[in-house]
Structure 1
Amino acid sequence: MRPTGFIPPLCTPLTPDGAVDTGSLRRLVEHVLAGDASALFALGTCGEAVFLTDEQRRTVVRTTVEAAAGRVPVLAGVIDTTTPRVRERAREAAALGADALVATAPFYTDTHPAETADHFRRIHAETGLPLLAYDIPSRVHTKLPPAVLLELAEDRTLAGLKDSSGDLDTLRHLLAALRHRGLDRHFAVLTGSELTVDAALLIGADGVVAGLGNVDPAAYTRLHAHARAGRWPEAVAEQNRLVTLHTLIHAGAPTDMSGTAAAVGGFKAALHLLGVIDHPTTAAPLRPLPEEAVREVEELLKGGGLL
């Protein structure tokens, strides 16, 4: 499996009392598939994975796999603090039918690059499913070293990378090294930097994992198609439209809530306004988006031609 194209990191719809809303999750799957998503990524950052109980995580993976019904692959996030805990999440996801796994470096504790490499090898050995590394230093406080990624691509521990580091320089060096070693044929690089997708695709990234794609999946599919066809003015125009729409993640004021609450709340408010999910509830302790922020999200949807 070499994932490419647009892959949405699915939000996890919740009921007002905090339970996983499986009906809304199924509608969200249909919504992004209608926008030609090439795969589904459950339990990422937008999926509020770290806020969910183990049983809720299992419910999300089970429901996503059932809703996908084999139409596209399902990537399951197995994000947890330490190797034994991630291996447990990996076994569960595999048993529930996930097609591939996505894991970060260990966090809370610090790890040496050799220990990080061993972490990924142990996860891969647990199930044998394709494994993607998730590079998100803003959350786990560890930047995955390119040397480690190249080593794990070489020995086929990793099938790819979701790069949410925002470090375009390092990403470019990694892509060049993968091509030089002939590893790009089996190692996929997906950008999670939503405001520079066009640039990442220009320098050789294979696809995009964008939280805003929950809201406007067809736009990211178009952006990827323009890039693959070399229609760069069209790709840039689509990216610029998405940059404006992306400001919905800032509708919640930083004086009132965390950036995570504002971003996930913005996506969920938009999905609720679009009629995709029943409730815009975010996981505790994230604060809900206030009414004036929801109105701002609504105006952005109208301006973006979605309402």
Structure 2
Amino acid sequence: MGGLLTGSIVALVTPMFDDGSIDELSLRRLVDWHVEQGTNAIVAMGTTGESATLTDDEWLRVVQIVVEQAAARIPVIAGTGSSSTAKAIKLTQAVEKFAIAATLCVTPYYNRPSQEGLYQHFAAIAAAATKPVLLYNVPGRTGCDLLPETVIRLANVPRIAGIKEATGKLDRLQTIKVAVSADFLLLSGDDASACDFMLQGGKGVISVTSNVAPKAMAAMCKAAVAGDAALAHKLDASLQGLHETLFVEPSPTPAKWAVAQLHGCSAHLRLPLLPLTAANQPHVRAAMTAAGVL
């Protein structure tokens, strides 16, 4: 599995109509576009896909559509995280009927469990799963930090296959890397530092920027994973504006606006997220131009 889930992995936005319903045709078109642009894998119903505001039926439908449209051309990872261990298990088991490569489980948000609680949470999910499980640590969004020593413990649990580490703290990569097996998948979840993460031994990035500049992100990741620092940094330099401005308002607000500019679909988000403000639209547009996508 590790060899498949490397490089540029898009944390796919979920297109919606202005009434908030899922725009299934635009979703299918985005999947095709990513395949054409060289994206290496897709995360469906990650947090960038607004999983927190979709019903379970909508969530399952989005995963189904992405898997159908990908048609085994590139791997699909399904986001199944929850603050409830029981619900995360339910979602993980529900999605395993589809041809997914793995599930991605974010740390519980709001209830802020201890490190032992986190260990038990992910171990229980893995015990109930039949496909590989990827951990997802993003304390800036969840208020919960999965520390390296807990990741190392979890790396020994059957079916826990890797981690999306989104703190941007590169020292964590080395701490984890030296203590886990070579096939434990180390993925960045922070676009701004992803290039260096890969140059220091990471195998890819689950990326918001890939929603907007998939071809350039795929090229940068290919160079970085291959250890070509000069080329990777050169390619990444043109993407730094996107790495920054796609978070100028709560994600995925800027990314959805940018995708709408490229594909003509709606930029609608579900409350409590709001559309990208007029003041920030020129900044995102400028970053898109700098990245060569406009």
Normalised by the size of structure 2, how large is the TM-score?
A: 0.93
Tell me if 1:72 matches 2:74.
yes
Pairing partner for 2:214 from 201, 214, 217: 217
Alpha-carbon shift at residue 268 of structure 1 (Å): 1.4
Tell me if 1:297 matches 2:284.
yes
Distance 1:166 1:266 in 2: 20
User: Which residue in the other structure is 1:281 paired with?
Assistant: 268
Q: CA RMSD in A?
A: 1.7
User: Which residue in the other structure is 1:151 paired with?
Assistant: 153
Alpha-carbon shift at residue 242 of structure 1 (Å): 0.7
Letter in 2 for 1:265: T
Q: Where do 1:141-220 residues align within 5 Å?
A: 141-178=143-180, 183-184=181-182, 186-220=183-217
Distance 1:208 1:249 in 2: 16
Change (3 A) 1:302 1:111: closer
Distance 1:114 1:295 in 2: 45
Letter in 1 for 2:256: K
**% of aligned pairs identical?**
30
Normalised by the size of structure 1, how large is the TM-score?
A: 0.89
Identify which range, 35-44 or 111-120, moves more after superposition.
111-120
> Per-residue CA shift, 1:229-266, capped at 9, x if unaligned?
33211111111111023343256xxxxxxx31xx3221
Change (3 A) 1:301 1:72: same
Distance 1:110 1:271 in 2: 33
User: Which residue in the other structure is 1:63 paired with?
Assistant: 65
Distance 1:161 1:70 in 2: 23
* Paired residues of 2:213 and 2:291 also in contact (CA < 8 A): no
Structure 2 residue runs of 5 or longer lacking an equivalent are none
Tell me, what secondary structure is at the counterpart of 2:155? Answer: helix
> Per-residue CA shift, 1:22-62, capped at 9, x if unaligned?
11111111121122122110111211111211121111111
Letter in 1 for 2:210: G
User: Which residue in the other structure is 1:256 paired with?
Assistant: none
* Paired residues of 1:188 and 1:206 also in contact (CA < 8 A): yes
User: Which residue in the other structure is 2:231 paired with?
Assistant: 234
* Paired residues of 1:82 and 1:107 also in contact (CA < 8 A): no
Alpha-carbon shift at residue 102 of structure 1 (Å): 0.7
* Paired residues of 1:43 and 1:76 also in contact (CA < 8 A): yes
Tell me if 1:54 matches 2:56.
yes
> Per-residue CA shift, 1:148-173, capped at 9, x if unaligned?
22222123341000011122222221
Change (3 A) 1:27 1:148: same
User: Which residue in the other structure is 1:267 paired with?
Assistant: 255
Structure 1 residue runs of 5 or longer lacking an equivalent are 252-258
The count of residues paired between Structure 1 and Structure 2 equals 292
Distance 1:158 1:268 in 2: 31
> Per-residue CA shift, 1:149-208, capped at 9, x if unaligned?
222212334100001112222222112222xxxx02x21000011111121012110111
User: Which residue in the other structure is 1:4 paired with?
Assistant: 6
Change (3 A) 1:187 1:28: same
